[in-house]
Structure 1
């Protein structure tokens, strides 16, 4: 009998908005989520931690380093290459352009990420067991190396997201193929660096590419079938409709906002868990993520 593969489901963006955080907690109660990650730069982050504590989910709340949403922890004047004229982080597109043209200062990235980690530690009382960056900035900028350096200094090895999807699933699964191929190509170097430095992570990363696929017959089977490696990470973005995201995370009416609610409904039906287990996957429960970093 074939050994079961472990499946880690990590919900991104906890704290980004009140209803998004509420939706993530609903998905936890449904038994579909292993861990989530907190954006400490969000104006709604601190209140979301109180909701988290009430659920008693412990250290399955990780950190979501961010350089492309809202404002930095440090005063904008201390990180001028990271912000616009209003003191807000650049959009992802602008951040990438400035990174590739050498205009994002690595020392400023380093200081801001250290400040964010310090805030996480202050608010939660522990260092994160799970880390992945907002909009995958660690996969294609100086942020990836900075994060490795920061955690090495404090002798911590959290479970890091490795942005690496098999080419077979990129070709066979519809939705954002060009974006996924670019991310996997860029993420490969960062994934190898994480592995070389002893940071645990999954063998591949999967997720929902198009909300219209959610719940479609054979969708999950098509994503999980034939995946090699003993550990798979599923990237999730569940959430209730959240007006605070409009104009921040996506333009009003953008499909990304609708996708969150569609994902939440999918995770709460039990279909995701049943299908994954039927395909031979062991869905790790909250708290079990710590086994991967022991």
Structure 2
């Protein structure tokens, strides 16, 4: 069991699948990986067309470790989504068609109160769908930097851990400030967050991807690490959404791979979910 005392005594790993609810192909992959004990958590995009199916899976299996993937971007060219809130203020988060923009470049210009209202609406939508969230994270890192404090504040408000690392692969410059705020508010977060590539270069095939993951696993440091990726099944639906579909299929296969699973055992890596962090955070808050 994860405790504050043994936090740094072992290498703890959250094997995490992003984008639950994005499409049917992703839902099928994530549910299958969960049932086969190949992942330890996932995170729900309540804005997306297949969110209800994903939420139903969480309701049917109360052990399913599901967070809320706070969303303010809609990156695909022909497959779109927008805000939960239906208000004049929420339109500040959308393009002319009512969809979120494809990237977070617009976020610094949005009133923080509008962003907060939409993020709260997404958390509470997940709860209305029957999900008991285990944590908060954000799609495409859209809350980083200018709205970074909001992520921690919402973690404190709902007593949930958050995806944050003081030493990320791509720093936004405010990590020390945000880490101090998280400590002040009693919000837990991993020591490290590692994302698998969205795409690979020509010649970098599945074997390359598998070897990359094995290298990451062997190089894990003591403490808590989240390793996140984006699995989907190979379907016509997925191919219509993104031409990066082969790499999402890689992500589906990787943690089912016997070589990867063997390395986890050989390295004595303790697999945990976000639920362990949530319960530890809530236990600590009760003691304050």
TM-score, scaled relative to structure 2: 0.80
CA-based RMSD: 2.8
Task: Quote the Cα distance in structure 1 between the aligned partners of 2:178 and 2:248.
Answer: 27
Matched, 1:236 2:229: yes
> Is the 8 Å Cα contact of residues 217 and 263 (structure 2) preserved in structure 1?
no
TM superposition shift of 1:215: 3.9
Task: Quote the Cα distance in structure 2 between the aligned partners of 1:124 and 1:145.
Answer: 27
> Is the 8 Å Cα contact of residues 83 and 99 (structure 2) preserved in structure 1?
yes
Matched, 1:7 2:9: no
TM superposition shift of 1:192: 4.4
**1:58 pairs with 51, 59, 63, which one?**
63
The answer for the alignment partner of 1:145 in structure 2 is: 149
Q: How does 1:259-274 map to 2 (within 5 A)?
A: 259-274=247-262
Task: Quote the Cα distance in structure 1 between the aligned partners of 2:16 and 2:254.
Answer: 15
Matched, 1:202 2:210: no
> Is the 8 Å Cα contact of residues 155 and 161 (structure 2) preserved in structure 1?
no
> Is the 8 Å Cα contact of residues 33 and 286 (structure 1) preserved in structure 2?
no
**2:49 pairs with 30, 43, 46, which one?**
43
**Deviation digits for residues 9-59 of structure 1 (CA, Å, limit 9, x no counterpart):** 1211100001101101111122121111100011210122223334x2435
Unmatched runs of 5 consecutive residues or more in structure 1: 167-179
Q: CA separation of 1:287/1:244 partners in 2, compared to 1, >3 Å: closer, same or farther?
A: same
Unmatched runs of 5 consecutive residues or more in structure 2: 1-7, 75-80, 284-288
* Secondary structure class of the residue paired with 1:33: coil
Task: Quote the Cα distance in structure 1 between the aligned partners of 2:216 and 2:167.
Answer: 10
* Secondary structure class of the residue paired with 1:63: strand
* Secondary structure class of the residue paired with 1:223: helix
Matched, 1:181 2:170: yes
The answer for the alignment partner of 1:170 in structure 2 is: none
Matched, 1:119 2:125: yes
TM superposition shift of 1:203: 0.7
Matched, 1:284 2:272: yes
**Deviation digits for residues 56-95 of structure 1 (CA, Å, limit 9, x no counterpart):** 2435111111001211011152223211111111111xx3
